[in-house]
Structure 1
Amino acid sequence: MSYFGRKLRLSRLLYGEQSAGLIVPIDHGLTVGPIKGIESTQQIQSWVGNPDISAIIAHKGMLEKLILADAIPSSTGVIVHLNGMNSLFEDADTKQLVTDLSYAVQLGADAVSIQVNFTANNAAHNTRLLGAVADKAHALGIPLLSMVYDKVDAGDLESVERMRSFIRMGIELGSDALKIGFPKRIEQLEHLLSAADDSTPVFFAGGEKGDENALINKAQAAMSYGAKGLCIGRGVFQSDNKEYILSRLAKVLKSSAAQPTATLGYFDQQQAV
């Protein structure tokens, strides 16, 4: 029976009837402190209700404050992030659970998320964490978004193959959705995404704030090969014009969701929106 609850809640992370979503994480504060764009709760309140945001990801404390301030519209999906570690510590990539799933449910979560950064030394920790959280989330009927990153410095081809393995690992252990980074070369997207499956939506991370036209082009490419949307924090909340970049990204995601998958000539045909 839990499958029906997970399916319904997962749909709340997307745009209405659209099979695409723009998820904005604001969980960075635990990791790196009050960076530009999320210096204070009040600053986040000023933009987090934008209708072009289909869902947000937050740690429990920030979510409590935003709920108290009535800052989150009923149309916006809510994902509670369950683990973390401050970047000041040597083992920052081995993230620990900081919230229980039952408390996330009490907060009104539509989904939960965890981040697993694979280094050369923490594979066992990450594997246990993914499996255990997926089991409990499924028992409660809550979808799990797994953020999977490879922190081992590898060449282009090896990096893609490692990420293909991690994508499959997330699927095998019960992730209901995945967040991954863009490959080093955009033409590797098709091969990377071929490791996923239709029942496990993939959202692409934005990474550090960069050129917005380049981000739009990468979003178009990802959607053309079957991604379900974006999970972008700094590219949104550090923008000088948040409403504009959100509207551009939402336009790409909504229009691309209804288009057929890319042909081999896709990258030669695209221009910035």
Structure 2
Amino acid sequence: MSKLLRLSKLFHPKSGRSLMLPVDHGTTYGPLRGLSSMPELVRIANRFRLQALIAHKGAIHRALEGDEPAWGTEFILHLSASTTLGPDPSRKQIVSTVRHGLQIGAAGISVHVNVGVPQEHEMIRDLGIVCDEAYAWGMPVLAMMNVQEDTSSLSATSRKIAHAVRLAGELGADLVKIQNPSSPEAAAEVVSAFDIPVLLAGGNSTTDKLAFFRGVQEMLDAGGRGLCVGRNLFEDPHPSHMCQALSDLVHKRCSPEEAYNTYSLYEQELVLTGNPSRAKISHLDMETWEEYA
């Protein structure tokens, strides 16, 4: 299977955008809330036809061993790892291979690079080598680029993010995930830094859902090709509702306010009845599922 065919599987056939769920956080932070059940995360990804689940090899193995068939979404094998228990969590190590991704049927692989840290050069080297290997095997590469924020200047941080996008593209990545550039103007600069799809990271969990949706919209309006949202989805009290809201925002191009109303259905039903029915969203019928197919 060629790289172009695999890459096409990572984008919605109608919207041309992508909504991915990264669940690789466990190696870094340990057992986070929402990561305890891979089959449940696969179930959510299937119901809303997410383009990909991004996970380490062990998590993918467990997901495929579950009762929920992985028929609705692709897997991307994440190759980078570190822990907060070590002396330098920013120093990512390569812990798997492109070949292993092929062996388990992954549609692509991902590599994390922290830019602006002392070990930056090692991670840049690893990304370049992985991109070479992936090219030989026809595997798409998602570069997760994280820059050290400049607390004194948002514009300086945005320039760093644009530089990181350019770096990922120059080294051969096919997609790049970046943090929020903080303004529409900065988002446009970041998206135009190199001609590869730019996906917005979800960042840390937030309670201000409307602001989160508005930040997403700014990136999409600037030409971003989608989202790569982890903690703001799997740590959310109502992950299915968040997933539907994000799917509507990305693929149906609804407004942030409409996405917020969709997410708020749970709270509204709880207030009115005291017994919210999660089945309305978490167990979609085929007609509803086809809206995301």
Q: Which bin holds the TM-score, normalised by the shorter protein?
A: 0.7 to 0.9
C-alpha separation between the residues in 1 aligned to 2:136 and 2:112? 20
Q: Against the structure 1 CA distance between its residues 271 and 21, is the aligned structure 2 distance closer, same or farther, given a 3 Å change threshold? A: closer
Whole-angstrom distance in 1 between the partners of 2:15 and 2:45: 20
Q: Which structure carries more helix by proportion? A: 2
Runs of at least 4 residues off by over 6 Å: none
Aligned twin of 1:256: 253
What residue number does 2:214 align with? 217
Determine the C-alpha separation between the residues in 1 that align with 2:69 and 2:56. Answer: 14
Q: TM-score, normalised by structure 2?
A: 0.81
Structure 1 residue 240 displacement after superposition: 1.6
Identical counterparts, % of pairs: 30
The answer as to whether partners of 1:120 and 1:152 remain within 8 angstroms in 2 is no
Residue matched to 1:163: 161
Q: Is the 8 A contact 1:48 1:72 kept in 2?
A: no
Letter in 2 for 1:167: V
Q: Check whether the contact 1:201–1:228 (CA below 8 A) recurs between aligned residues.
A: yes
User: Contact 2:202/2:232 (CA < 8 Å) preserved in 1?
Assistant: yes
User: Which blocks of at least 5 consecutive residues in structure 2 are unaligned?
Assistant: 259-293
Q: Secondary structure at the match of 1:272?
A: helix
Report which stretch shifted further, 206-215 or 27-36.
206-215
Does 2:103 correspond to 1:106? yes
1:130 equivalent in alignment to 2:104? no
- Partners of 1:59 and 1:105 in 2: CA distance: 14
Amino acid at match of 2:24: D
Match of 2:241 in 1: 244
Indicate the residue corresponding to 1:203 in structure 2.
Answer: 199
1:94 aligns with 2:79: no
Counterparts of 2:253 and 2:3, CA distance in 1:
25
Does the C-alpha gap of structure 1 residues 247 and 152 become closer, same or farther in structure 2, counting only changes over 3 Å?
A: closer
Contact kept in structure 2, 1:24 and 1:57, CA below 8 Å: yes
Deviation digits for residues 11-46 of structure 1 (CA, Å, limit 9, x no counterpart) = 111223330111001111111011111134455455
Whole-Å separation in 2 of the counterparts to 1:226 and 1:168: 16
Cα distance between partner residues in 2 of 1:42 and 1:255: 27
Q: Which residue of structure 1 aligns with residue 15 of structure 2?
A: 18
Aligned-partner Cα distance in 1 for 2:69–2:145: 26
Contact kept, 8 Å, 2:183 with 2:218, in 1: the verdict is no
Give the aligned length: 256
Q: Does 1:272 align with 2:257?
A: yes
TM-score (norm 1): 0.87
Equivalent in 37, 56, 60 of residue 59 of structure 1? 56
Give the superposed CA RMSD: 2.0
Identify which of 186, 189, 199 aligns with 1:188. 186
2:117 alignment partner in structure 1: 120
Structure having the higher Rg: 2
1:193 and 1:226 in contact (8 A); partners too: yes
For 2:212 and 2:229, the matched residues in 1 are separated by: 10
Alpha-carbon distance between aligned partners in 1 of 2:232 and 2:22, rounded to the nearest angstrom = 10
Task: Say if 1:34 and 1:40, in contact at 8 Å, map to a contact too.
Answer: no
Three-state SS of the structure 1 residue aligned to 2:20 is strand
The equivalent of 1:174 in structure 2 is: 172
Which residue identity does 1:47 align to in structure 2? I
